Structure 1
Amino acid sequence: MRRKSVLATTLVLPVILLAAGCTSAAPEKSASPTPTGPAYVSTYEAPAATQLAPLRGNTVPAGTMDHPSLAAKIDNHEGARPQVGLDRTDIVFEELVEGGLTRYVAVWQYDIPSEIGPVRSIRPMDPDIISPFGGLVAYSGGQEVFVNMMMNTPVRNLVFDYDTSGIFYRYDAHEAPHNVILHASDAVKQAADLGAPQQQYAYSTDIATSTAALDGAPTANIAVVFSPERFPNYTWDEANKVWLRNQEGAPDLDDKGKQLQATNVVTMRVDIDGTYGEVPKTVLTGSGAATVSTGGKTINATWSKANAGSPIRFVDGNGVVVRLAPGNTWIELVPNGQGSVTLQ
C-alpha cells in the first residue's frame, strides 16, 4: 500500500506543476508614449515645370511660349535708323539687297515688343529664311513675283499694302518709305490659333558650355563686309559677355540710344543667284562655310539647309552639332566673292 501511495504522488506532481504554469498572470502592457510636439509637415514643393524658349534656348515657365513667332522685313537704310524693336529680337538675319545695301529678317517670339519697324518689302530669299519658323511674317509689299513666293509658304502674311485692319501705320520719326510701323504684340495676339515655332538650333546651358566657348579661338572683333556701303562689325564686351554691334565704323544704336548686342554671332558664306537682275537672291539651300562666335571665342563650322522648310544646321569640324549659348543671335549672310569675314 505504501508503494502505491508513492507512485500516485509521483504521477500527480507534474500535473500540478503544469497547471500552475498555465494559470500564472500575464505581464501588464506598458502605455504607449504620448507625442508632445507638433506633427511633422513636409515643406517640399515640386519645382515648376519649365521649357526652352525655342528661338533663344532660355529656360522659361512651361506654357509661356505657346504663341507664334513673328518675322518681319526691317529696313537698314540710313533713313530708317534707329530701328524700333531690334533690341528685343531672338534672331536677326542680315542679307544683301540691291545697291550694296542690306536689310534684316528679324524674328521675335521670346519677347515681342508693342511696335517694330520700319517694315520694308519682301525679297526672293526671304521665303527660304522664314518658312522654318512658321507663324507670321510682316512686310510692306514688294515685286509681285516675290510677294507670291512668300504667300505660297505655310507662314501667315501681314502686308502693309493690303492692310485694312490698322495693324500697320506710318510714324513721323522718319520720312517715307522708311516709316512703316507694325503693332507687333497686337498682331501676335490676333494669331492665337497659330502654334509656337520649332526649336531651330541646339543650345548649351550657358555661355561657358557653348561649343565656341569650349573649343574656339579667342576673338575680340568680327568684321564683315557685304559691300563698300555695308560693313558691320562686332566687338567683344568681356564685362557684359556680349558682342557689341557697329555699322560702318559707328555704334549701331536702338531707338532708345543703346548699342545693339548679341550673345551669338554667326557668319554664313553664301552664293548669290542673279536670276532677278539687280535684286540679288541669297542661296540658302545646300551648304557652305560658317563661323560661330560665343563667349569671346570663335569656331569654324559648316552650315547646311536641305530645303526651304528645313532649319539651318551648324556642325563643327568633327561633324558634331554646334551648341549656341542661350540668348539672341545675329546671323550674317555674307556673299562669296565680294564679301568677307575677318576675325581678330
Structure 2
Amino acid sequence: MVTGGRGALRRRGTPLVVVAVAALLLVGCQQGPPEPVPTPEPTAEPRPVGSSQPIAVAFSPLRGTPTDPAAPRHPSLAAKIDNHDDARPQIALNRTDLVYEELVEGGLTRYLAVWHSDLPPTIGPVRSIRPMDPDIASPLGGVIAYSGGQDQFVAMMMATPLVNVVFDLDETGLYSRADERPGPHDVILDAAETMARNSALAPPPVQFDYGTADPLAAPELAAAPTSRIALVFSEARAPTWDWDAGSSSWLRSQEGVADVEEGGARVRATNVVTLEVGIDWRYGEVPKTVLIGSGEAWVSVAGRTAHGTWTKDAAGSPITLAADDGSPLRLAPGNTWIELVPAGGTASFTP
C-alpha cells in the first residue's frame, strides 16, 4: 500500500448613535433666531457603481486560470515524454497544464504531459506509448504525440478519439532529432506546427475542480501542513516535491537532485495530486497502471495536503477527486502534476 498519508492527514448589538448639540451663547444684542436650513430631499437616482455591461470571463479548462475570452479556441497537445537520465533536461515542462507520471519497465518512470494554456514551439524528448496511456489521454481529446511502441499499444491509442501524431509514421517533418542529445532520447516535436495543422479540433473539457489559491483551508478537509512530498515508484525512481512559499509552488527533485527543464529553470507545480494505483502485469515486463476504478488520493496545494479518494469510471471519463467527508477536492488555479504511485510504492508527507 502507499503509506504515510492516511493516518497523518485524517482528522478528521444595537448601533450606537451619538448626537452632539451645540449651545448657542448670545453675546451683546440678540439678533433673533437663525433661519432654518431646509433638509435636502433624498435623491431617487442610485449612486453609480461602475459599468452596467457584463464582463466576459473565461477560464482555462486544464488550469482553472483566467484567459482571454477572445482568444482562439484550440485543442490540447498530449505527448509521451521521456524521463530517462539521458533525456533530462526535458523541454517546456513548466509550460504544461498537466503532467501524469507513471511507472514503466525497469522501474523507471515516464510522463504523459499535456499542453493547452501555454503552447511552446517545441517539446520533447518524445518516446513510445504504453498500455495505460489511452486511459489517461482519452478524456482530453485533441492530439497525442509519441514515437511509436508495441503494435498492440499503438493500436489501442489509435482506437481513441485523439489524433495520433507518431514519429515512426511521420513523413511531413513534424519531428526531428536533436544533435546535442543522445539517441533514442533525442526526438523533438514541432509543437507549434502540430497545433496549427490541428487547430480545428475541439478544446479539452475540464478535468479537475478548481477553487481559490488555498482551496484546502476549510477545517472539514483536515488538510495537514506539508513541507515535503516524498514518493517511491521503485528502487530506481523516488521523486520529491518541496513547498516553496516564495514562489507559491512545489519544487521537484529526482533521486535527491534538483529537477530542471531545458534552460535551467527548476521544475515546479502549483498542485501535486498523488494517486495510489494498481499495476496490471498482463503485458509481461511492461506494467500497466490501472486507472479504471478507484483508490486513495492525496491533494497537495499551498503547503497543505488533504486525503481523499479518486475514481474513474471509464477510459473517456476524467478522474474525480473527493475528500474524506465526500466534498470535492479542489485544486488551486495553475499547473498540476498527477503522480500515479503503485500500491507497492510509498508516499509520505512531511509537516
TM interval, short-chain normalised:
0.7 to 0.9
Return the alpha-carbon distance in structure 2 between the equivalents of residues 301 and 252 of structure 1: 28
Paired position in structure 2 for 1:311: 318
Residue type matched to 1:78 in 2?
D
Among 59, 65, 74, the alignment partner of 1:67 is 74
Paired position in structure 1 for 2:266: 259
Paired position in structure 1 for 2:346: 340
Q: State the superposition RMSD in angstroms.
A: 1.4
Cα distance, 1:173 vs. partner?
2.1
Paired position in structure 2 for 1:158: 165
Cα distance, 1:185 vs. partner?
1.4
Please, what TM-score do these two structures have when normalized by structure 1?
Answer: 0.85
Q: Deviations over 1:295-333 (max 9, x none)?
A: 000000100000000000000001111110000000100
Paired position in structure 2 for 1:198: 205
Q: Deviations over 1:93-136 (max 9, x none)?
A: 00000000000000000001000000000000000000000000
Tell me how many residue pairs correspond in the alignment: 300
Among 284, 304, 309, the alignment partner of 2:291 is 284
Return the alpha-carbon distance in structure 2 between the equivalents of residues 265 and 173 of structure 1: 32
1:220 maps onto 2:227 in alignment: yes
Return the alpha-carbon distance in structure 1 between the equivalents of residues 218 and 90 of structure 2: 30
Paired position in structure 2 for 1:32: none
- Contact (CA 8 Å) 2:216, 2:304: kept in 1 or not? no
Q: With CA pairs under 8 Å and 6+ residues apart, which has the higher RCO, 1 or 2?
A: 2
Return the alpha-carbon distance in structure 2 between the equivalents of residues 53 and 47 of structure 1: 20
Cα distance, 1:43 vs. partner?
8.5
| Cα distance, 1:112–1:213 mapped onto 2, change above 3 Å | farther
Ranges in structure 2 where 5+ consecutive residues have no aligned partner: 1-48
Q: Larger Cα Rg: Structure 1 or Structure 2?
A: 1
Among 113, 123, 129, the alignment partner of 1:116 is 123
Q: Secondary structure at the match of 1:303?
A: strand
Among 219, 239, 260, the alignment partner of 1:232 is 239
Please, what TM-score do these two structures have when normalized by structure 2?
Answer: 0.83
Question: After superposition, where does 1:1-344 map in structure 2 within 5 Å?
Answer: 44=51, 46=53, 48-64=55-71, 66-204=73-211, 206-208=212-214, 210-211=215-216, 215=221, 216-337=223-344, 339-344=345-350
Return the alpha-carbon distance in structure 2 between the equivalents of residues 44 and 270 of structure 1: 51
Q: Secondary structure at the match of 1:323?
A: coil
Residue type matched to 1:251 in 2?
A
Return the alpha-carbon distance in structure 2 between the equivalents of residues 190 and 159 of structure 1: 14
Cα distance, 1:46 vs. partner?
3.8
- Contact (CA 8 Å) 2:271, 2:337: kept in 1 or not? yes
Residue type matched to 1:117 in 2?
G
Cα distance, 1:87 vs. partner?
1.3
Return the alpha-carbon distance in structure 2 between the equivalents of residues 160 and 258 of structure 1: 28
Return the alpha-carbon distance in structure 1 between the equivalents of residues 225 and 119 of structure 2: 33
Residue type matched to 1:56 in 2?
R
Cα distance, 1:228 vs. partner?
1.0
Bigger fraction of residues in helix: 1
Q: Which runs of 4+ in 1 moved over 3 A?
A: 42-48, 212-215
**Percent of pairs with identical residues:** 54
Residue type matched to 1:325 in 2?
A
Return the alpha-carbon distance in structure 1 between the equivalents of residues 180 and 349 of structure 2: 36
- Contact (CA 8 Å) 2:280, 2:288: kept in 1 or not? yes
